[in-house]
């Protein structure tokens, strides 16, 4: 147990220097361990053979690899399994760079595709430089307020600048914005805060969390984003920013070179935007829900094709602005008919592609309204992500006859999400789609039983 504790401390903390021999040995062992588990999980759940070459073409973005059509549980499992290895790789690389007499800021290349392999190979060759990489034995405890203010200003400036560049310059809501930006802002902010004032880890993390909250307030105040989307993004940004701040603190305590070297972190962000953009679109993701109705399919069918007004949702749902279904109507009958599913934000236009009476109704979605109306003091606020970043592609109802003249009514929606990381934003998207499904399915069941 003591040996395991020592090993975990060596991997996850910044305490001990890392020689080139240790870097190579631990790195190789961890790579073999990760690959073995990845290979096992992917084969067991997706029946796909995962090779080392797949990492070169995929990086950490499993969702846009040959695993795009894998079961829904696989990608979150792989993501969770990957997270500790990313942290271990960063801590080892940072300490190895310092041990080799190089700048700790080079460790950020660990997250850049292709360059990370060059960096790791180089660090395996560079010899140790004595006296480098050790924590400052007598850090100064002065300048807390100026350091804190400068840290917040730097963090908010980085976040705001990258938001404008990514969203309004490159129309990209991806990993570089939601993961890379808060991480770099946290590193730079944590570094500045600890440069003159030796803050504790807790103080450093609290400063990073405060910085992210101020950033969210700025975006809300200037009208760039609404409250609902900012509230969903805040937990991710706070968590990543806090981890970045811990890294920045470690650099401040161990690397006494010029603070201008921190600009290296900023220089990486703009070029990282296209590097972290998925090369190929992910196939539409299906969300499926079901309900049982005490009526035969022939009776349920007319209420699936169209249905009258749904009861109003709760006042909280209406105030949040998230789109909710109101009614459905159809023009024509059979394949080629046009179905209009009207939501609070506008209609979905759905040409019928499969019409199997009392069995299956399948349709494409050729026009869709915004997924929500932003909660903001500015009327008509429409951030770019409300147009084309969440897109419903098609839908389907299936009616399955059950014993006792009952029906299992299944509803599916296939949607595309162009916001990363998809594993995080997909949680909210799936939750909202499921709530819409249950609202519609329960209304169909109620109108069916009321009409008997």
Q: CATH assignment of 285-450?
A: 3.30.530.20
Give the pLDDT confidence of 147-181 residue by residue, as tens digits.
999 999 999 999 999 899 888 888 888 888 898 89
Q: Which pLDDT does position 138 carry in this prediction?
A: 46
Output the pLDDT for position 143: 75
- Tell me the pTM: 0.85
Q: Answer whether 352's CB lies under 8 Å from 388's CB.
A: no
As a whole number of angstroms, the distance between CA 24 and CA 281 comes to: 36
Residues of the chain with pLDDT under 70: 57-66, 68-70, 72, 131-142, 258, 266, 268-281, 451-452
- Contact (CB, 8 A) for 372 and 345: yes
Sign of CA pseudo-dihedral 240, 275, 108, 25? positive
**Could you report the per-residue pLDDT of 207-219, keeping only the tens digit for each?**
999 999 999 999 9
Written as six digits, the tokens of 322 are: 């998230």
Interacting residues of 103 by C-beta distance below 8 A, sequence separation 6+: 97, 255, 257, 261, 264
Q: 298 vs 101, 246, 424, CA distance in Å?
A: 77, 62, 40
- In what side-by-side order are the strands of the sheet with 390-402? 285-293, 406-417, 390-402, 360-364, 346-356, 338-343, 325-331
Predicted confidence at residue 328, as pLDDT, reads 93
Q: By C-alpha distance, which of 47, 44, 7, 41 is closest to 26?
A: 7
- Residue 65 DSSP SS3: coil
For 228-296, strand residue ranges (E) read 285-293
Calpha distance 210→189 (Å, rounded): 11
For CATH 3.30.530.20, the residue range(s) in the chain are 285-450
DSSP assignment of 373-427 equals ----SSTT---GGGTTSEEEEEEEEEEEEETTTEEEEEEEEEEEE-BSSHHHHHH
Which residues pair with residue 288 across a beta bridge? Answer: 412
């Amino acid at each position: 147990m003591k040996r395991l504790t020592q090993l975990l401390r060596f991997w996850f903390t910044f305490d001990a220097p890392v020689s080139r021999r240790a870097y190579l040995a631990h790195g190789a062992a961890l790579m073999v361990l990760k690959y073995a588990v990845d290979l096992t999980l992917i084969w067991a759940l997706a029946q796909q053979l995962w090779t080392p070459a797949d990492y070169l073409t995929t990086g950490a973005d499993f969702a846009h690899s040959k695993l795009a059509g894998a079961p829904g549980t696989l990608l979150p499992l792989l993501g969770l399994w990957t997270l500790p290895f990313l942290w271990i790789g960063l801590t080892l690389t940072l300490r190895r760079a310092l041990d080799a007499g190089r700048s700790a800021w080079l460790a950020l290349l660990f997250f850049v595709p292709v360059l990370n392999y060059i960096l790791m190979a180089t660090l395996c060759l560079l010899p140790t430089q004595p006296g480098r990489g050790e924590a400052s034995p007598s850090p100064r405890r002065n300048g807390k307020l100026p350091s804190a203010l400068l840290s917040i200003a730097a963090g908010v400036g980085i976040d705001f600048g990258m938001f404008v560049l990514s969203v309004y310059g490159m129309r990209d809501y991806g990993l570089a914005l939601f993961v890379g930006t808060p991480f770099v802002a946290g590193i730079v902010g944590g570094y500045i805060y600890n440069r003159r004032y030796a803050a504790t880890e807790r103080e450093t993390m609290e400063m990073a969390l405060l910085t992210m909250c101020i950033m969210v307030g700025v975006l809300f105040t200037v009208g760039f984003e609404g409250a609902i989307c900012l509230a969903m993004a805040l937990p991710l940004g706070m968590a990543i920013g806090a981890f970045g701040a811990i890294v920045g603190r470690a650099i401040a305590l161990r690397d006494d070179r010029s603070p201008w070297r921190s600009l290296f972190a900023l220089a990486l962000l703009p070029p990282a935007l296209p590097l972290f953009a998925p090369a190929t679109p992910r196939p539409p993701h299906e969300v499926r829900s079901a309900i049982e109705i005490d009526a035969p399919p022939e009776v349920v069918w007319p209420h699936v094709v169209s249905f009258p007004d749904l009861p109003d949702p709760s006042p909280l749902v209406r105030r949040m602005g998230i789109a909710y279904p109101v009614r459905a109507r159809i023009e024509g009958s059979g394949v080629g008919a046009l179905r209009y599913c009207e939501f609070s934000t506008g209609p979905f236009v759905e040409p019928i592609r499969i019409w199997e009476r009392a069995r299956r109704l399948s349709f494409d979605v050729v026009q869709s309204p915004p997924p929500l109306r932003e909660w903001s003091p500015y009327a008509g606020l429409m951030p770019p992500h409300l147009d084309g970043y969440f897109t419903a592609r098609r839908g389907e109802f299936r009616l399955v006859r059950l014993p006792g003249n009952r029906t299992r009514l299944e509803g599916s929606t296939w949607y595309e999400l162009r916001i990363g990381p998809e594993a995080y934003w997909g949680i909210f998207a799936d939750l909202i789609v499921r709530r819409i499904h249950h609202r519609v399915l329960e209304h169909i069941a109620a109108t069916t039983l009321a009409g008997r």
